[in-house]
Amino acid sequence: MQVTFILVIVMVLILARWLAQLGLERLNQQHVRAHAGAVPESFRGVMDDATYGKSVQYTLANSRFSQFEATFDLVVLFVVLFSGVLPWASRFFEGNTVWVQAGFLFVTFTMLSVVSLPLQWWDQFRLEERFGFNTTTQGTWWLDRVKGFLLAGVIGYPLLALILKCVEWAGDWWWVWAWGALLAFQLLMSVLAPVLILPLFNKLTPLPEGALRERLLALAGKTNFRAASIQVMDGSRRSKHSNAFFTGFGRFRKIVLFDTLITQLAEPELEAVLAHEIGHWRKRHIVKMLVLSAAGSLAAFAAIAWLARQEQFVAAFGLEEGSVASALLLFGLLAGTVMFWLSPLTHGLSRRYEYEADAYAKEVVADAAPLVGALRKLNEKNLSNLTPHPAYSGFYYSHPTLLERERALNSTA
């Protein structure tokens, strides 16, 4: 009876998330359609009527795709959890060694990634292609996936084995040691990934000598932001979308600009965008997010350790009772269902940090106009949704809307 109750509760939680996802998409679609037609007065000067109409269609197409994707994920999750496929698949991984158990976990999560490939392909070569964003080739796209799977095997599989090995080494407190191992691994990768992994997917070249480089280096000096170099990434090989970020720590830190960003923005606007990114560093947002992420990882490992002791919960899905590997697998499958309801909190914090970084950028360049101009161009070039429903943006947006950011910038003393 308790096993049935557990299965019903899990089903209800998964269905509740799915219904909320569909409901939010439907709510946003209605809100966007209500503002379709002519460009709203608040956004005149951001987009012309033709571009605004295209942005509405792009938003609606993405929303319909998200509804299909949520339904697809629901079906896959139901099949994996309730069809008996997990206990059936576990029979091919007989043995109690950490390598066998890690192999079961790795193969399961890899197969789930493979199942999602058709949707990823459709998104890139149908949806993004339709609206003029896709610039990648079939060969590049598939090669990226092969590289990703190989890296997962080389890095992810041994990491899973190490986490499970902590159970043998540390007993009941294994989860604390596993968390420490994961944290050390993440810190190591933050240094190595920009040097060893990022170049496997993108070509990075130094920003050429010239006025732009001098302007950005002057900004870095003015803000006491030390970086090893300013790099340009060939993002245009895959998409017309643009971005800027910095990666690495200390003397390994690099400023990275998409080549698409450089072609879309004027020099003062690029300076303002970089000032915004530096604002995240100066306001210690990155450190705060790392601490929050570490705390979340610790809570996750504590939850996995607790689940491993709930024998009926693990047995309800036909897996080995008391097995940390089984608990880790179920946690990986169900964590998204729980985290969905926490996303307004995490995204709310992220939006707060964006406001603070915007204010810092305005202070550094002594003018709001360059950042406002950059934001307007980026929203126009990316066909961003200018009129999302507040509930939708509250759940899904890590950045404030264009109108919200402009109001904040123009009101900041």
Beta strands in 126-243 (DSSP E): 204-206, 229-233
Catalytic residue (choose from 73, 128, 269, 358): 358
Element (H, E) at 258: strand 254-258
Annotation marks residue 277 as catalytic: yes
Among all chains, which residue has been given the structure tokens 């109108």?
403
The answer to whether 358 is a known catalytic residue is yes
How far is 142 from 393, CA to CA, in rounded Å?
A: 32
Report the candidate in 276, 281, 251, 262 with the shortest Cα–Cα distance to residue 357.
276
Query: Which residue is catalytic, options 269, 277, 380, 406?
Result: 277
Per-position DSSP letters for 5-66, written without gaps between them: HHHHHHHHHHHHHHHHHHHHHHHHHHHHHHT-SSPPGGGBTTB-HHHHHHHHHHHHHHHHHH
Q: Give the helix, strand, coil percentages of the chain, each rounded to 5.
A: 75, 5, 20
The answer for residues whose C-beta is within 8 angstroms of residue 139's C-beta and 6 or more apart is none
Give me the residues paired with residue 230 across strands: 255
Active site residues: 277, 358
